[in-house]
A = this chain, B = another copy of it.
Amino acid sequence: MDMLDLIKTRRSIRRFSQEKLDRNFLTELIEAARCAPAFANEQSLEYIVVDEPKVCQEIFETLTWAWHIRPKRKPAPNQRPTAYIVVLIDSGIKKEAVVDASAAIENILLAAWSRGVGSCWLGNLKKEKISQILSIDEKYDINSVIALGKPAEKPVMEDAAADDTKYYLDKDDVLHVPKRPLARILHFNKFGGK
Contacts and interface: CB of A to CB of B under 8 A. Distances in A.
A145 B110 CA distance: 22
Scoring A35, A38, A182 by chain B CB atoms within 10 A of each residue's CB, the highest score goes to A35
A129 interface: no
SS class of chain A's interface: helix, strand, loop or mixed? Answer: mixed
A12 interface: yes
Contacts of A40: 67-68
Given A30-B186, A99-B123, A102-B103, A35 B48 contact: no
A141 to B, nearest CB: 13
Indicate how many identical chains form the complex: 2
A145 to B, nearest CB: 14
A146 B38 CA distance: 14
Interface of A: 2-4, 6-8, 10, 12, 23, 27-28, 30-32, 34-43, 45-52, 55, 67-68, 93, 98-99, 102-103, 105-107, 109-111, 114, 121, 123, 133-137, 140, 157, 160, 163, 165-167, 177-180, 182, 184-193
